Amino acid sequence: MSKLVSLDLTLNSFHGNIPKETGNMTKLQQLDLSSNNFFGEIPPSVLNLKELKVLILTDNSLSKEIPIDIGNLSNITTLDFSNNKLTGTIPSSIQKLTQLETLQLENNLLTGEIPSCLFNIKGLKNLFLEGNYLTWNNKAKIMPRCTLSELSMRSCGLTGEIPDWISTQKTLVHIDLSANQLEGTFPLWLAEMNVNDIDLSGNNLKGFLPPSLFNSQSLTVLSLSWNNFYGELPSNIGNATEIYHLSLDRNNFSGKLPESIVNYQALSAKSLPFKFYNLRNNSLQGSIPDCISNLTKLQILDLSSNQLVGDIPTKIGNLASMIETTNDSYVFIDFDMSDVILNWKKTQQGSLNALKVLNISHNNLYGRVPASLGDLENLESFGLVIQQYIRLNSTITCKIATTDYFGYSSAMSRRPVTNNNHQRLRVRKHGSHGKECGIGYVVGFFVAVGNLYLIGYFVPTKPPNHRGPTKKAKGINSKYLTSYACSLWSKL
């Protein structure tokens, strides 16, 4: 195999040490051993592969240090050691890799300072260092020779202001400086760069957002969560029409929701995998604009834990893309709805044909359980815990194959429920208390009010914040809702 040029053993079950004989394949230009179970060190014999251009060892369990003479691989363009257990520092000899374009060292156990010499590699375009125990020397004077397209330095011990040398990277499309200790304001120079993805979440940044940030026609992802930004959202926030992921949660933004948010063209683009809009945990005021229902491709909208008032727009039920998320990792399963007073009225309770879980426990509901609930063919669980004046209607005809009725009421009828098709019926007490919510990713503090006739108001005084179990579920739009479980405190 001495004349072999390319060796790709990706996604196998090889284990043990990487054979030292690998270094005998001196004509090798590409070596990919990713996604196996190799462990131990990167064999020094690999450094004999002088013609090697691509070396990918990601997703293994390699440990020990990066070979100190890694710079001997002078023809390397791609070096990917990510997702291993490598320790030690980044060797300074790496600056000798003059052909290097992509360096991926993320998710290892590397320590020490990030060597400033990395930025002297003229051809370097993609640099990923996140998920290590690296630190950054703020006093280092960086005059980069590289021209980066992607820069990820998440959790790299960055302090002080966002490094201004980044402003020299005119071709930058992705920047991730999240989970550091950065301070100061959002730099005007960054706002005016044509970056596609910006992630500065989990820092100590503050101040107003520059309006020029939203004049960009390149910006698609903006994540500024967990900072201290304040002031009103720029009125031109909707001018960045290509944004499909906007996370501004857990800041101190105030004022009204700008109506320009409905300008987001990307939220109507079918080709985009996920559409996300998160403004929870701020101090936003006023009402939810009716025009928000025009974002027909929006999948997640979270406006919870603000100071919003007024009626929930009834057309919110038009957001049909909220039926199901495409990535379970984004599904939010713990919602605080303790500030909401719900008023469920009229006779629409039986029209939620895909409803599987309904828990309306711990409220002050009264009267009979509507017979139309028997039309919920997919209902699997129905909770009425601690309702003082609820009576179970004995004439309900259940079309459900399997239902778990839980709870009790001092006025609940003791007569059995009529059942035509049940395979299993359980009636039991349910000991949970406080709030429960398993609505998938609920629309902020409300869920698909178009057919539910829910009216939600925030109240200034919070009732007791009891926490019950949560359930993961998919489903938002009321017409197709697959899970709705809310135990709420009602307090006027």
Question: pLDDT truncated to tens, each residue of the chain (492 aa)?
Answer: 778 999 999 999 999 999 999 999 999 999 999 999 999 999 999 999 999 999 999 999 999 999 999 999 999 999 999 999 999 999 999 999 999 999 999 999 999 999 999 999 999 999 999 999 999 888 888 899 999 999 999 998 889 999 999 999 999 999 999 999 999 999 999 999 999 999 999 999 999 999 999 999 899 999 999 999 999 999 999 888 888 899 999 999 999 998 888 776 555 554 554 578 899 999 999 988 888 877 777 888 888 889 988 888 877 777 777 755 444 444 333 334 444 444 444 444 455 666 666 666 655 566 666 777 777 777 766 665 544 445 554 444 544 444 444 444 443 333 334 444 333 333 333 333 333 333 333 333 333 233 222 333 333 333 333 333 333 333 333 333 333 333 333 332
Residue 221 and residue 196 in contact, taking contact as beta carbons nearer than 8 Å: yes
Residue 63 and residue 84 in contact, taking contact as beta carbons nearer than 8 Å: yes
Compute the distance between CA of residue 244 and CA of residue 270 in angstroms, rounded to an integer: 11
Q: 3-class DSSP state for residue 407? A: coil
Residue 466 and residue 437 in contact, taking contact as beta carbons nearer than 8 Å: no
pTM score, whole prediction = 0.70
User: Is the CA virtual torsion 132, 138, 141, 143 positive or negative?
Assistant: positive
Compute the distance between CA of residue 206 and CA of residue 184 in angstroms, rounded to an integer: 6
* HSE of 99, CA atoms in CB hemisphere, 13 A: 14
Would you state the pLDDT for residue 124? Answer: 98
Domains of the chain (ranges, CATH numbers): 1-182 (3.80.10.10), 193-309 (3.80.10.10), 334-492 (no CATH)
Pairing type for strands 436-437 and 484-487 reads antiparallel
CA proximity to 57, closest of 9, 101, 23? 9
Read off the DSSP letter of residue 364. -
CB-based burial of residue 210 (10 Å sphere; 0-12 exposed, 13-18 middle, 19+ buried)?
A: middle
Would you state the pLDDT for residue 314? Answer: 79
User: Is the CA virtual torsion 146, 149, 155, 160 positive or negative?
Assistant: positive
Residue 218 and residue 240 in contact, taking contact as beta carbons nearer than 8 Å: no
CA proximity to 321, closest of 376, 351, 277? 277
List the beta bridge partners of residue 199: 176, 223
Residue 173 and residue 148 in contact, taking contact as beta carbons nearer than 8 Å: no
Would you state the pLDDT for residue 318? Answer: 74
Say what the alpha-carbon torsion angle 12, 14, 20, 25 is, to the nearest 10 degrees: -30
Compute the distance between CA of residue 289 and CA of residue 286 in angstroms, rounded to an integer: 9
CB-based burial of residue 189 (10 Å sphere; 0-12 exposed, 13-18 middle, 19+ buried)?
A: middle
Would you state the pLDDT for residue 377? Answer: 73
Compute the distance between CA of residue 273 and CA of residue 58 in angstroms, rounded to an integer: 25
Q: Give the Cα-Cα-Cα angle 16, 21, 27 (nearest 5 degrees).
A: 125
Would you state the pLDDT for residue 265? Answer: 56
Q: Give the Cα-Cα-Cα angle 287, 290, 293 (nearest 5 degrees).
A: 125
List the beta bridge partners of residue 103: 79, 127
Q: Which residues contact 14 (CB under 8 A, 6 or more apart)?
A: 33, 36, 37, 38
Would you state the pLDDT for residue 200? Answer: 98
Compute the distance between CA of residue 188 and CA of residue 164 in angstroms, rounded to an integer: 11
Q: 3-class DSSP state for residue 47? A: helix
Counting other chains too, the contacts that 11-17 makes at CB distance below 8 Å and 24 or more residues apart are 11/35, 11/36, 12/36, 13/37, 14/38, 15/39, 16/40, 17/41, 17/43
Would you state the pLDDT for residue 474? Answer: 34
Would you state the pLDDT for residue 352? Answer: 62
Q: Give the Cα-Cα-Cα angle 124, 128, 134 (nearest 5 degrees).
A: 115
